[in-house]
Amino acid sequence: MVQRQLPNPVELLELMQFKKPQLDGKKRRLDGALTIDDLRTIAKRRTPKAAFDYTDGAAEGELSLTRARQAFQDVEFHPGILRPAPDVDTSVDILGGPSALPFGIAPTGFTRLMQTEGEVAGAGAAAAAGIPFTLSTLGTTSIEGVKAANPHGRNWFQLYVMRDREISYELTRRAAAAGFDTLQFTVDTPVAGARLRDKRNGFSIPPQLTLGTIINAIPRPWWWYDFLTTPKLEFASLSTTGGTVGELLDAAMDPTISYDDLAVIRDIWPGKIVIKGVQNVEDSVRLRDAGVDGIVLSNHGGRQLDRAPIPFHLLPEVRKAVGDDFTVMIDTGIMNGADIVAAVALGADFTLIGRAYLYGLMAGGRAGVDRTIEILRTEIERTMRLLGVASLAELEPAHVTQLTRLVPVTRAASDVVVG
């Protein structure tokens, strides 16, 4: 028989300690976010639909984004046992400089529409974490404004080659003068992708007020207060902000972009240059041979060509083709620190986060971006310890299996009709 007794208050106090209530609402909700998906849930609750969907959505049926995220979920890790890793080193040297973590903040457009602190919050959080921050050509803070927010950290600039080439050339010179050390020359946006959520929401710059917009904004007065009481959006490049997002992109981009444009920009730019938007092995090798400093395997977060290649699936083959001494980075679909660990194990030198950063921004401004970085840092460190590796250099392909759902169909020669 079990012996029973009346509860002893002293013993209960030893077993149960009451948590002090957190009166700061922002800190309470951010502390409660344990994953990037938690931050996404908070962001969706606090941000008007048009702005949230611009961040969250992708092109057409959004298959490219869905597949990219699924590819990371379809990872099987292979840990080593009896290999203590009480302390892990997450630092990496990338493109001639240090980063405290194997990821940086990717370029994002129209960022202050997501939350008014925008790129200033991102650059400040990156500086505090010791990681690079990338400003988009379509960012809503100037080159000089980002430099002021991150005066001693690493700033990178993402460049679109526009129809008016002189705009692109002048932006390149300004970024160089401000001390930005790396240029991301973007090649996957000759025209704007069909972002159907934006079309359905009538998303435009500035926001167009419709009855639906107003109804959606009623429970989110803080967003409108921030938007209406802070300085006018300042784009890094565009002098006009009227029209839909697609119209702005089509006016800025140029489908005739070529290797000749790359040669001109390389003559202007004094720092490192990487090509963002590479989506096959052949282009990776050609760019390596052309002498660029690196590439970013990316399908633009699924926001351009739907059904585009999955960057994470391309990674092992690209690494094998270009060799170990060429810088290969990757973005698209990263929602967990384990995704980053898997990418590094399969050959990525570095990764970039876009939506994950914006979810944090929308959830809580600068503090939300800090929380994004902290969540990913914790997940990276925990995954490394569980794998039994003490440094990123110890990660190798043997630690990861890419489980495959989408297998290319190969037709037998006898099935091919010739006529």
Tell me, yes or no, whether 1 lies in a domain: no
Helix (H) or strand (E) holding 261: helix 259-268
CA distance 299 to 305: 7
Decide if pLDDT at 418 tops 60.
no
* Closest alpha carbon to 185 in 168, 199, 202, 208: 168
The CATH number of the domain holding residue 249 is 3.20.20.70
CA distance 55 to 39: 13
Residue 374: CB atoms within 10 Å: 15
What is the gyration radius of the CA atoms in the chain, in angstroms?
Answer: 23
Task: Read off the pLDDT of each residue in 244-251 and give the average, rounded to a whole number.
Answer: 66
First-last CA distance in the chain: 87
Q: Would you list the DSSP string of 184-248? A: EEE-S-SS----HHHHHHT-BSSPP--HHHHHHHTT-HHHHHHHHSSPPP--SS-S---SBHHHH
Task: Read off the pLDDT of each residue in 383-402 and give the average, rounded to a whole number.
Answer: 96
Tell me, yes or no, whether 402 lies in a domain: no
DSSP bridge pairs for 355 = none
Residues in the chain: 419
The pLDDT tens digits for 29-74 are 999 999 999 999 999 999 998 889 999 999 999 999 999 999 999 9
The two structure tokens encoding residue 298: 């990316």
Q: How confident is the model at residue 419 (pLDDT cuts 50, 70, 90)?
A: very low
Give the global pTM.
0.90
Select, from the ranges 15-19, 185-189, 224-228, the one with the highest average predicted confidence (pLDDT): 185-189
Give the pLDDT score at 403.
Answer: 92
Give the active site residues: 300
The better pLDDT of the pair 179, 239 is held by 179
Tell me, yes or no, whether 2 lies in a domain: no
The better pLDDT of the pair 254, 41 is held by 41
| Residues with Cβ within 8 Å of residue 133, at least 6 apart in sequence | 104, 105, 119, 122, 123, 126, 127, 146, 150, 153, 154, 155, 156
Helix (H) or strand (E) holding 171: helix 165-177
Decide if pLDDT at 79 tops 70.
yes
Give the pLDDT score at 341.
Answer: 98
Tell me, yes or no, whether 380 lies in a domain: yes
* Closest alpha carbon to 100 in 402, 405, 387, 374: 374
| DSSP tag of 96 | T
Tell me, yes or no, whether 272 lies in a domain: yes
Domain count, the chain: 1
Q: Would you list the DSSP string of 274-321? A: EEEEE-SHHHHHHHHHHT-SEEEE--GGGTSSTT---HHHHHHHHHHH
Tell me, yes or no, whether 109 lies in a domain: yes
Give the pLDDT score at 46.
Answer: 93
Identify whether the C-beta of residue 270 lies closer than 8 Å to the C-beta of residue 307. no
Q: How confident is the model at residue 21 (pLDDT cuts 50, 70, 90)?
A: confident
The pLDDT tens digits for 259-281 are 999 999 999 999 999 999 999 99
> Taking all residues of the chain, what is their mean pLDDT, rounded to a whole number?
90
Tell me, yes or no, whether 366 lies in a domain: yes
Tell me, yes or no, whether 9 lies in a domain: no
CA distance 139 to 286: 30
Q: What angle do helix axes 337-345 and 311-322 make, rounded to 10 degrees?
A: 30
92-94 and 97-99: which strand pairing?
antiparallel
Q: Pick the range with the lowest mean pLDDT from 54-68, 229-243, 330-344.
A: 229-243
The better pLDDT of the pair 238, 141 is held by 141
- Containing structural domain, residue 299: 25-394
Give the pLDDT score at 219.
Answer: 82
